[in-house]
Amino acid sequence: MDQNRPILSRVATSAPDASTAIDRSITDFPVATPIDEDNYFRFHKPPPYLSQISNDVASFINYNHQKQRKVVLVTSGGTTVPLENNTVRFIDNFSAGTRGATSAEYFLEHGYSVIFLHREFSLLPYSRHFSHTTNCLLDHLKFSNNGNNVEVDDDLQKDLVSVLKKYQQVKNENRLLLVPFTTVHQYLFTLKLIAQELSVIGSDALFYLAAAVSDFFLPSSRIPEHKIQSHDHGGKLVVDLEPVPKFLRRLVDSWAPIAMIVSFKLETDSSILIKKATTALERYNHQLVIGNLLQTRKTEVVFVTPNDNEWIKLSEKDIENQLEIESLIIPKIVTLHKEWIKSRDDLVK
């Protein structure tokens, strides 16, 4: 592989894996017992493309570590829970991928290399500026040379030049690796794989878990192969889901025990946000939970650490100037990560 070329994973995750459809030889998921995190990985098959991703991730980490860059894993977008193996229906978790894609850009600006584990087809760093939801590129193009060439409108030149410069530099320096997922199953297996590979660089690794991860899943032993028919169960659809294993515990205590870990907590009820974030921090014993409310997530978040709750808010003026809250979040995390690395170094002295 040419080390100076960016590595972009080219696996597809959105199509169901119909060839390996249903394997009834896999033991039924132990529903009656409390679900142990390890059971999940024991009772389910990894996605078939995982070894391909594994090589990309290992070379990316190795290359960037040699260049003495810190590596952050940013997770982004919502995970799905398919209700059928040949998937027509699925349950989804809310997220456009804005938090993840925006944060990734600010980490890159701070010199980090980024593994971007994202929901396939959700927002990506840099291209997000011209996506259909915000600013459709096609609306800013015009023909030239008798309709044989295309030019960008004057009003977009400045923005496009600035974003393209950053994007090309990141690509040329091989500092961004895109790894997709669609289902919560693919997310969990890929997260575990990347965490284990990142453990090689110890405290230089940072986890920034912004993906909206489903709390429920349907064990593969119970997923029907084909589209559920409306007459199957007397016209009703009764969905019986299991709780997703508490993967953060494994991340903190065995997959990447020396890395710094930041997770997000999403709520819609402001009266329980701090409590839920504090409980997550105590339960998993990691470094930082960032709480946010669905309704206000773009203008305020709260940093919850063992000793402190600190709100970070955009002012009226910031909002007018279209400042992104991630431009305030990321520098703070970069500082916390520096302190974390120092504290780990002091431990071994």
Site of interaction with ligand 9Z3 (CB under 6 A): 95-99, 209-210, 212-213, 263-266, 292, 297
- Residues 137, 130 contacting (CB under 8 angstroms): yes
Toward ligand 9Z3, which CB reaches closer, 65 or 286? 286
Toward ligand 9Z3, which CB reaches closer, 29 or 264? 264
The SS3 assignment for 63 reads helix
Smallest gap from residue 319 Cβ to ligand 9Z3 (A): 16
Toward ligand 9Z3, which CB reaches closer, 169 or 270? 270
Terminal-residue alpha carbon distance, the chain: 38
Toward ligand 9Z3, which CB reaches closer, 110 or 249? 249
Rg (CA), the chain: 21
The SS3 assignment for 207 reads strand
Smallest gap from residue 292 Cβ to ligand 9Z3 (A): 5
Compute the C-alpha angle 254/258/262, nearest 5°: 90
Instruction: Specify the amino acid at residue 171.
Output: K
* Interatomic CA distance for residues 183 and 196, integer angstroms: 20
* Interatomic CA distance for residues 245 and 286, integer angstroms: 17
What six digits make up the tokens of 188? Answer: 């969990």
Smallest gap from residue 37 Cβ to ligand 9Z3 (A): 14
Smallest gap from residue 64 Cβ to ligand 9Z3 (A): 25
Smallest gap from residue 108 Cβ to ligand 9Z3 (A): 18
- Residues 222, 242 contacting (CB under 8 angstroms): no
Smallest gap from residue 79 Cβ to ligand 9Z3 (A): 8
Toward ligand 9Z3, which CB reaches closer, 7 or 273? 273
Smallest gap from residue 243 Cβ to ligand 9Z3 (A): 11
Q: Give the pairing type, strands 242-243 and 300-305.
A: unpaired
Q: How far is CA 206 from CA 107, 201, 244, 315, in A?
A: 11, 10, 23, 28
> Residue 251: what are its φ and ψ, rounded to 5°?
-60, -45
DSSP state of 126: T
Toward ligand 9Z3, which CB reaches closer, 215 or 232? 215
Toward ligand 9Z3, which CB reaches closer, 98 or 190? 98
